Amino acid sequence: MTQSPTVPGPIEQLTGAGVSIWLDDLSRERLRTGNLAELVATRGVVGVTTNPTIFAAALSKGDAYDAQLAELAPAGVDDAAVEAAVERITTDDVRAAADLLRPVYDATDGVDGRVSIEVDPRLAHDADKTVVTAERLWTTIDRPNVYIKIPATVAGLDAISRTLAQGISVNVTLIFSIARYRAVMEAFAIGLEQARADGIDLAPVGSVASFFVSRVDTAVDAALEKVGTPEALDLRGQAAIANARLAFEAYEEFRQTDRWRSLVASGAQAQRPLWASTGVKNPEYRDTMYVDELVTDGIVNTMPEATLQAFADHGVVTGDAITGTAAASRRTLETVESFGISLVEVTDRLESEGVRKFADSWTDLLATTRDGLRDAAGS
């Protein structure tokens, strides 16, 4: 009796369609309990992203950091000591995660198996200090499968080029608009061209461009609800996916240029689009929509664990959901704008809010660390 073949589950279908699954979370608890290793083994996770909000949440829960806080407490609780403690704690977590994912990195020739850590978000508008911080984080962690996250602000674009030019891998974060994404790809090319001119091997230099999704719908939906007409309300939940699909069109256009072909000939890796902010904010929407509807070969989707587990349970892969959708996506955004909603204003505001929220989370992280150091010193 022949046994029927096992039907691939949603995770297997997603990875089979060419999507790299990354986890948008990291904590000492995940590392020490084996949870991250389990997600790598059972949920197809091949990368990890972090940000100040994630670390602030991790440090405020449980006792996973108590021993290290006790070790660091004798240095005191002045600003310099607290910032040094935060850097030590976060870089230790990222290094441990990078070691866990090193087999994936090796097996994929450096494409996946990466772990991201963000520069201090308070430096988002200071290119010089961002570059210095990126260099320090890269040297401190000392693992080839790390990405340094730099926000795609105007100042960040310069920092991205200068960091890549040194052979440091970069995850460009907080991208909301197509225009800014094109500028990110330009910054990426400038950085690699400078690295090549300086004799740096391009093959190990990785980069992803983190294009944010759900926050666009949150902002646009609110504006559509203010308009309030049935036609406007029918557009809710469509702008973010259309925006991301057009970003992929821009990526494909860049890959057809002679400039990119020249870099590929020199050993460069592609700067893959990474769909970020893929957890659904509106409970009325399907909880896997920002995964299901953004499937195509050669991209990354970084998910919070709730979204990852939901997708493993009931995600739907119907093949390539992006190729051939540019014209319809453009019409969707044009219709949104016909109601007097400026997508430029929306995405500019989202960038400013994103920088501010991460800076606030960094402040929370510093405060939590200071409290932890004080508690450890008093115990």
Max Cα-Cα span within the chain: 72
Positive or negative, the CA dihedral 271, 189, 358, 55 is positive
Query: Residue 237 phi/psi, 5° resolution?
Result: 80, 10
211: CB partners within 8 A, 6+ apart: 175, 176, 181, 244, 247, 273, 274, 275, 276
Catalytic residue among 149, 226, 281, 357: 149
Give the torsion through C-alpha atoms of 49, 51, 54, 57, to 10 deg: 160
Q: Which two tokens stand for residue 86?
A: 């935060």
Residue 303, beta-bridge partner list: 23
CB 280 within 8 A of CB 214: yes
Enclosing H/E stretch for 274: strand 271-276
Task: Tell me the C-alpha distance between 220 and 368, whole Å.
Answer: 34
Phi/psi of residue 68, nearest 5 degrees: -70, -35
Q: Respond yes or no: is residue 281 known to be catalytic.
A: no
For 272: left if phi > 0, alpha if psi spans -120 to 50, otherwise beta; the answer is: beta
Alpha helices in the chain (DSSP H): 10-16, 28-33, 35-42, 52-59, 66-72, 79-107, 127-141, 154-164, 178-197, 214-227, 230-233, 239-255, 258-265, 289-292, 305-314, 326-338, 343-378
The catalytic residues are 149
